[in-house]
Amino acid sequence: MAHQHDHEQHGTNAEQWEQRYATSDRIWSGNPNALLVEHATPLAPGTALELGCGEGADAIWLARQGWTVLATDVAHAALSKAAAHAADEGVPAGAISWARYDLATDFPAGTFDLVTASYLHSWHQEFAREPILRRAAQAVAPGGHLLVISHAGAPAHAEPGKYFPEFPDAAATVGLLELGGGWVVEVAADVTVPMRGPDGAPSSRPDCIVLARRTG
């Protein structure tokens, strides 16, 4: 997504996301994120927690692979669209639970075989991503995985200075997770993802992916 820094800061982070989803038909592509598909395909399905599920394409993909998913987002409007997409696509009832959480102040109880966050970013100043990702690591069951897919910089077509300057790369993401012992970082990779710019012209953006397994 484009993290425009000149977004207005009226309202809380939650209110801004609510409004964004409520006022547009579909923000994202409807397809699962390619990096999720690549890195979650080899994992044995179990229970999954998704953080910031948006319109639900990743959760729907995970459910299709056999995962039982708790998909969370701060925006009710996103969750209702996501649930409608899942129903349209014939995902069996019960495979995905859609639940509203402001992860900055509240986090689902329990542990999961996979905890995944795709582009859990916000342009809002109050959004503190690092503590949420550290809390996410604590929600991984022994033997389970944490998958964090992120933007790592501005897209190639971006006007200089128009985007948040601080997107951690893969190494910095591993660092901010503060995993300590009992973890193996299986993948920490900076990648260039092809995309189209606003005018439809081919472009690309730097992303990163971290996949870590909790061993104990």
Ligand X SMILES: C[S@@+](CC[C@H](N)C(=O)[O-])C[C@H]1O[C@@H](n2cnc3c(N)ncnc32)[C@H](O)[C@@H]1O
Three-state secondary structure call for residue 84: helix
Q: Which is nearer to ligand X, 119 or 163 (CB)?
A: 119
Cβ proximity of 124 and 156 under 8 Å: no
Assigned token pair, 182 = 């009992």
CB of 216 to ligand X, least distance (A): 28
CB of 181 to ligand X, least distance (A): 28
Cβ proximity of 208 and 168 under 8 Å: yes
- In this structure, the strands spanning 96-100 and 68-73 are parallel
Residues near 78 by beta carbon (within 8 Å), at least 6 away in sequence: 17, 21, 53, 54, 55, 56
Q: Which is nearer to ligand X, 121 or 213 (CB)?
A: 121
CB of 119 to ligand X, least distance (A): 4
DSSP alpha helices (H): ranges in the chain?
Answer: 13-22, 34-40, 57-64, 76-88, 129-138, 170-177
Residues that bind ligand X (CB under 6 A): 1, 13, 17, 28, 33, 52-54, 73-75, 78, 101-104, 118-122, 127
CB of 3 to ligand X, least distance (A): 8
Q: Which is nearer to ligand X, 105 or 216 (CB)?
A: 105
Cβ proximity of 117 and 180 under 8 Å: no
Q: Which is nearer to ligand X, 78 or 208 (CB)?
A: 78
Q: Which is nearer to ligand X, 13 or 173 (CB)?
A: 13
CB of 143 to ligand X, least distance (A): 24
